[in-house]
Amino acid sequence: MPAHDIIAAYDATEEAADGLALAQLLCERLGRELVVARVIADGRTEVTDRHEQRAIRETIAETRRALVAALPEAASAELTPVVDGSMARGLHALAAAEDAEALVVGSSHHHGLGRLLLGGGPELVADGAPCPVFVAPPGFRSHAVLDPEVVAIAFDGTPAAETALRYGAELAVRLGTAMRIVTVQPPWYERPAGAPHDLLAVQAAGRTLAERLAKGQVRVDVVERRGDPADQLAAETRGEAGLLVVGSRRHGALRRVLLGSVSAAVLRAAAGPVVVATA
């Protein structure tokens, strides 16, 4: 598999089909090849038993049929089995080994801690990933476009936000979309540790960096929102932006959700595609 392909996790569910559609769209827009990963839950990472190997081949054949039925245009995609008891761990290992440009998953049908403990929630896949992780919202397959053609980027002046801005700016230029820097003034008791308190300074820093990265190739806007950061950022996915970029502070997925992480909350509430940029 050539370096910098886009990997989509697919297990024949409706949620996975949404992720597959987003991955196909990204491949078309970015000129990349699609690789589909079928994670097969097993406590081992290598299967040597002949009967188990046959079962894996049958699973892959069934997955191929489901993939073609769900998204015929992805019929020629490479389909790779990943044998691992953890979807996140298996996808991370594959992405690292193949130097993937991005991982793409669908929103899980599980909720809250149950979703994370099952090992398949998008928050867990995003945590510690070796590349950016895109998450498709429910139903994306039925309207697989970036609408509107705007990449919104959450920015609060922290190092994680700067990582998101750098990645989001590069993505906007490559996609040829407008760039929208979103700053949110939360209540004082919700401000993340280390985040600057001067919103005007944050906005100015965000605009300066974004315009330098855009190099005049795409339009850059800066907007201010006030209120709960997760709510305000999720609202951007409802008609304001076709794609939202957020940062990750790498606290560890379970602890991050228990702490009420903005990025994790946005992934659960977003109506459009979200990408978690990794440091």
Whether 145 is covered by a domain: the verdict is: no
Please check whether residues 46 and 104 belong to one and the same domain.
yes
Quick one: which H or E segment has residue 22?
helix 14-30
Q: Which residues contact 129 (CB under 8 A, 6 or more apart)?
A: 88, 91, 92, 95, 103, 276, 278
Per-residue pLDDT band for 117 (boundaries 50, 70, 90) equals very low
- Residue 252 inside a domain? The answer is yes
Containing domain of residue 204, as a range? 150-277
The whole-number average pLDDT for the span 216-230 is 95
Residues 58 and 112 in one domain: yes
Same domain, 86 and 22: yes
* Residue pointed to by tokens 């929208």: 180
Residue that finishes a domain, picked among 101, 118, 138: 138
Whether residues 119 and 170 fall in one domain: no
19 and 103 part of one domain:
yes
Q: Which of these three, 108, 138, 168, is where a domain ends? A: 138
Does any domain span residue 58?
yes
Last residue of some domain: 71, 103, 138?
138
Is 115 in the same domain as 225?
no
In a domain, 69, yes or no: yes
Nearest residue to 150 (alpha-carbon basis) of 180, 182, 184, 174: 180
Between 202 and 187, residue with greater pLDDT: 202
Position 207 pLDDT exceeds 90: yes
- Higher pLDDT: 10 or 2? It is 10
pTM: 0.88
Residue 120 CB coordination number (10 Å)? 25
| Confidence (pLDDT) at 122 | 78
Q: Say if residue 267 is in the same domain as residue 179.
A: yes
Average pLDDT over residues 180-196: 74
What percent of the chain has pLDDT above 70? 84
What are the pLDDT digits (tens) for 132-149? Answer: 999 999 999 999 999 999
Ranges 60-74, 110-124, 194-208, most confident: 60-74
- Asked if the structure places residue 126 within a domain, the reply is yes
79 and 55 in a common domain: yes
* Nearest residue to 274 via CA among 142, 103, 35, 24: 103
Residue 143 within a domain: no
Residue 144 lies in a domain: no
> Which residue pairs from 195-200 have beta carbons closer than 8 angstroms and sit at least 24 positions apart in sequence?
195/156, 195/157, 195/158, 196/156, 196/157, 199/224
- Span 118-137, pLDDT tens digits: 334 677 788 889 999 999 99
Compute the Cα dihedral for 196, 198, 201, 202 and give only its sign.
positive
By C-alpha distance, which of 62, 82, 64, 61 is closest to 74?
Answer: 64
Give the chain's domain count. Answer: 2
Q: Tell me what pLDDT residue 4 has.
A: 77
Q: Give the pLDDT score at 194.
A: 57
Confidence band, pLDDT 50/70/90 cuts, at residue 48: low
Amino acid, single-letter form, for residue 267: L
Residue 69 to residue 63: CA distance in whole angstroms = 10
Is 53 among the domain residues? yes
The residues, ordered by sequence, that sit 6+ positions from 273 with a Cβ below 8 Å of its Cβ are 22, 134, 135, 136, 137, 140, 146, 237, 242, 243, 244
The whole-number pLDDT of residue 258 equals: 33
Task: Tell whether 180 and 85 lie within a shared domain.
Answer: no
Name the amino acid, one letter, at 77: A
Q: What angle do CA 156, 158, 160 make, to 5 degrees?
A: 105
Same domain, 108 and 185: no
Confidence check: pLDDT of 167 > 60: yes
Q: Are residues 131 and 12 both part of a single domain?
A: yes
Give the C-alpha separation, 25 to 22, whole Å. 5
Q: What is the pLDDT of residue 239?
A: 95
Structure tokens at 233: 């950022």
CATH of the domain at 11: 3.40.50.620
Structure token pair of residue 224? 């201010």
Task: Count the residues in the chain.
Answer: 279
